[in-house]
Structures are given as C-alpha cells and as structure tokens.
C-alpha cells in the first residue's frame, strides 16, 4: 500500500495538486487526522509493508452521523476528491459517501485475499502468496525428512485465492478451499494414490475459510480416523500480511496509484482501479462490491494432477 500512497502523492504533486494523507482510514477522516503530504514525505516507503497512513475498521462511518463528521473534516481542509485503498467494505462506504456528499472517490484494491471482482490482482496478494510459499518450502524439509503429513493453513476467510496459488507454487499434495469441498475420506483417498509412488509425506494447503474445516479440525479428524498419519499443523496467519512487498506488488501498486490520480483528474468517481490482462481499467464500485470473482477451478484440477 505504501507504493500506492507514494505514487498518488508524487503524481498529484506533479499535477500541482495539494495532497493530504488521512490517517487510520475512515476513523481518521471522522476525527480530522489529516495532514498535508509533499513529495518528500513519501520517500523511502516503497519497500515497507503495511501502510504509513495506518488503517482501522470504522463502525462510526457506517452511521450517518459519522459520515457527516467525516465530510466536515474534508471541508475544513478544502479536500475535493478522495482516493481510498481497501476492499469491499472500504468501497461500500465510499459509494455511500459519494451518494450523500458528492465528493468524487476513486478506489484502489488493497486486500491480500485478491477476491475483488474486476481486477486480476489486488495489492498485497502477491507478497502474501510469496511469504506463504517460503514458509511451506521450510516446512517441506521436515515433512520430507520425517515422512510426515502437514496441514498448512493460509489466510482466506471466504475465498481460496491465496491457498490455490500457494498450493500450486509450493507443489502441495492437496489444496482445500471454500469454493470446492473435499471431505476427509476423499482427502485420504487422494493421499493414498500419491503414496503409490513411494511418496511418504504430504503437504496440504488449507484456506482458513475452507468449508469442511480449518487445518486444526481436519488434522484432528485424520488423527481420530487414521491414526497412522499423525498430522502436524502450521497456521501461517498474519505473517502473510507483513514484510517487504514483492516486486509485482510494488509495480501494481505504483501503476494503480498513478492511474487513480489520473482518473480523478479526468472526472471519474465511484470507480475502482483494476488491472486486467496487464492493462489498467476502471471498474464501477457497484460491480466491484456486488459481483463475484470466480476462482479458476481448472487450476485446482491441474494442481491435483500435478500432485499425483
């Protein structure tokens, strides 16, 4: 996200605009935590994870009173347009705010889950997947040396994009995601097929939102029903949300920040910047929020074949 913030500030100052940073998202907008940002203020941040502007979930922005306070803060600082980085919650708030107060808002997709409709990538996804793959590579050494079965849980509350890419990239034995259900019985069947080629260990990637249970639950079931497996569990958790961003994330975030300023200057509002087939596009907030991004189940099938 810092690469996007840097790109927004530098592009806007290039166009002689005044730029303000709003701290802690909509919470800071309500509380007036707003500071002028100049080119130099965003130096030395492109390589840092997280966001220098900080972030917060805001219950108050869901209320008309909260949004009125936020509007007053913008007026007090002569702010005429907004760029908001976030996911569907951020854009739902942005859309409502635009409808109520007419301040144009352009969104930049920032969620490691990569589940927003209208964009091939959102900021953070590539870094999260790379971090997860590095972790799985390390776990593989123990799995291989000790002939063990490992369940590795990655983030993805509702979707399996991180799990799918991590599973393919780490050569996992199976990938369990919310979009496709496989029960313990079938999982064991699959593992026994892979065991036919003397493969004695297995790495199974589980999205936290997997329908048939998270990594702990699945490992527990296997322990009860197939004690010979003695499965181990690793939950990668918030490690996936931090650390230096990948090259791809920095590139995408820079392009999105640049494009967001241009879109505002061209008079666009209520749209999210997306990347489709390596081209920058504008996607309406309505579509980004309401349409469902489908996961490519052919990739899951491919991963299964590659693991046999």
Per-residue contact flags (x/-) with ligand F6P for residues 170 to 209, judged by CB under 6 A: --------------------------------------x-
Residues 63-92 that bind ligand F6P (CB under 6 A): none
Rounded (10°) angle between helices 247-265 and 2-14: 40
Q: Write down the least CB distance from residue 63 to ligand F6P, Å.
A: 21
Q: Is 215 in the site for ligand F6P (CB under 6 A)?
A: no
Phi, psi torsion values for 261, nearest 5 degrees: -65, -45
34 or 235: CB nearest ligand F6P: 235
The three state secondary structure string of 70-117 is HHHHHHHCCCCCEEEEECHHHHHHHHHHHHHHCCCEEEEECCCCCCCC
Q: Is 237 in the site for ligand F6P (CB under 6 A)?
A: no
Q: Is 55 in the site for ligand F6P (CB under 6 A)?
A: no
Q: Which two tokens stand for residue 204?
A: 């199974």
Q: Is 166 in the site for ligand F6P (CB under 6 A)?
A: no
Which residue from 7, 112, 176, 252 is in contact with ligand F6P, where contact means CB under 6 A? Answer: 112
Classify residue 87 as left (phi > 0), alpha (psi -120 to 50) or beta: beta
> Is there a catalytic annotation at residue 113?
yes
112 or 222: CB nearest ligand F6P: 112
* DSSP 8-state assignment for residue 294: P
Q: Where are the alpha helices (DSSP H) in the chain?
A: 2-14, 25-31, 64-76, 88-101, 125-146, 161-169, 184-195, 215-225, 247-265, 285-290, 297-307
113 or 179: CB nearest ligand F6P: 113
188 or 239: CB nearest ligand F6P: 239
Give strand pairing partners of 203.
Answer: 150
28 or 156: CB nearest ligand F6P: 156
Instruction: Kindly indicate which of the ranges 1-9, 155-163, 253-261, 279-287 contains the residues binding ligand F6P, using the contact rule CB under 6 A.
Output: 155-163
Q: Is 56 in the site for ligand F6P (CB under 6 A)?
A: no
Phi, psi torsion values for 306, nearest 5 degrees: -65, -20
- Which residues of this protein are in contact with ligand F6P, per CB under 6 A? 111-113, 155-157, 208
Q: Which residues are catalytic?
A: 113
């Amino acid at each position: 996200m810092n690469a996007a913030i840097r790109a927004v500030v530098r592009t806007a100052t290039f166009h002689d605009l005044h730029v303000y940073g709003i701290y802690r998202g909509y919470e800071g907008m309500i509380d007036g935590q707003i500071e002028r940002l100049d080119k130099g203020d965003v130096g030395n941040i492109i390589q840092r994870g997280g966001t220098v502007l900080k972030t917060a979930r805001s219950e108050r922005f869901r209320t008309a009173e909260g949004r009125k306070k936020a509007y007053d803060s913008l007026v007090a600082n002569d702010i005429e347009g907004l760029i908001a980085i976030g996911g569907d919650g951020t854009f739902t708030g942005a859309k409502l705010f635009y409808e109520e107060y007419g301040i144009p808002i352009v969104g930049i997709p920032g969620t490691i889950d990569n589940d927003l409709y209208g964009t091939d990538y959102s900021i953070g996804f590539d870094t999260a997947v790379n971090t997860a793959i590095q972790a799985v590579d390390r776990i593989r050494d123990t799995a291989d040396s000790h002939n063990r079965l490992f369940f590795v849980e990655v983030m993805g509350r509702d979707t399996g994009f991180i799990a799918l890419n991590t599973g393919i990239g780490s050569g996992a034995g199976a990938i369990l995601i919310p979009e496709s259900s496989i029960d313990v019985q079938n999982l064991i069947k699959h593992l026994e097929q892979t065991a036919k080629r003397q493969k004695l260990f297995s790495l199974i990637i589980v999205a936290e939102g997997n329908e048939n249970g998270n990594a702990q639950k699945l490992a527990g079931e296997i322990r009860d029903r197939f004690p010979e497996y003695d499965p181990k569990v690793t939950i990668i958790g918030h490690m996936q949300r931090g650390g230096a961003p990948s090259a791809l994330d920095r590139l995408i975030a820079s392009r999105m920040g640049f494009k967001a300023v241009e879109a505002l200057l061209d008079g666009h509002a209520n749209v999210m910047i997306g990347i489709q087939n390596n081209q920058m596009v504008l996607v309406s907030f309505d579509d980004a929020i309401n349409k469902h991004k489908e996961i490519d189940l052919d990739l899951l099938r491919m991963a299964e074949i590659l693991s046999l």
